[in-house]
A and B are shown apart, each in its own frame.
Chain A
Amino acid sequence: GEDVEQSLFLSVREGDSSVINCTYTDSSSTYLYWYKQEPGAGLQLLTYIFSNMDMKQDQRLTVLLNKKDKHLSLRIADTQTGDSAIYFCARDSGGYQKVTFGTGTKLQVIP
């Protein structure tokens, strides 16, 4: 299977919270990342978490890391239509820290 896996699609109503999940197989990462990709654009780094942390909060974004289960999640509070995009989780692999991206989750926000 893929090294970093995500569900393909998530639909939420505007104002609700969104939770995007990611699982990975290699536990050697130092950092794990969340990127956002809007249509026709490159990826934009949203936030990242050090592998020794369990949680990181940044305004509307909350990242949770469960190292035991190799599970990473991104919670977006008060989801807005502008949050509609594809979200990629990514992890580095130690050494010179090549980054591996997940398959992406398309978030659709319904007004």
Chain B
Amino acid sequence: EAGVAQSPRYKIIEKRQSVAFWCNPISGHATLYWYQQILGQGPKLLIQFQNNGVVDDSQLPKDRFSAERLKGVDSTLKIQPAKLEDSAVYLCASSLELATGEQYFGPGTRLTVT
């Protein structure tokens, strides 16, 4: 079974630039999550989708972050414009069901904002 795929693995941008991350979850997984993991901290949930609908985006900085999951499969997370404090690893995860912590994580995208 293929795991959660993410790209790119690394990205370096200057502040005020835009960036987009892509995630392909495990086939058949209805729920998709985007987390932000700042160095030395645990992952923080940014947004959670159930199929193509948003379940929770309460911690998504909506003035600069956006995410979509068209057709309920792949997802993209965008930051526009980026700030220095956005430097982090962005993790995508998926799960079979909504109500579970049995999540499968991708390798993450390490973003550096200079």
Contacts and interface: CB of A to CB of B under 8 A. Distances in A.
Interface in A35-84: 40-45, 48
Given A42-B105, A45-B103, A48-B101, A98 B56 contact: yes
A40 B108 CA distance: 8
A101 B42 contact: yes
Contacts of B48: 98
A96 B55 contact: yes
B102 interface: yes
B55 A99 contact: no
A99 B45 contact: yes
Nearest to A90: B101
B82 interface: no
Q: Is the interface of A mostly helix, strand, loop or mixed?
A: strand
Contacts of B41: 103-104
Interface in B16-64: 40-45, 48, 55-56
B72 interface: no
B39 to A, nearest CB: 11
A99 to B, nearest CB: 4
Contacts of B4: 42
Nearest to B108: A42
B56 A45 contact: no
A42 B101 contact: no
Nearest to A89: B42
27 contacts: A33-B101, A41-B107, A42-B105, A42-B107, A42-B108, A43-B93, A43-B103, A44-B105, A45-B101, A45-B104, A48-B102, A88-B43, A90-B42, A92-B99, A92-B100, A96-B56, A97-B99, A97-B100, A97-B101, A98-B45, A100-B45, A101-B42, A102-B42, A103-B40, A104-B40, A104-B41, A104-B42
Interface of A: 4, 31, 33, 40-45, 48, 88, 90-92, 96-104
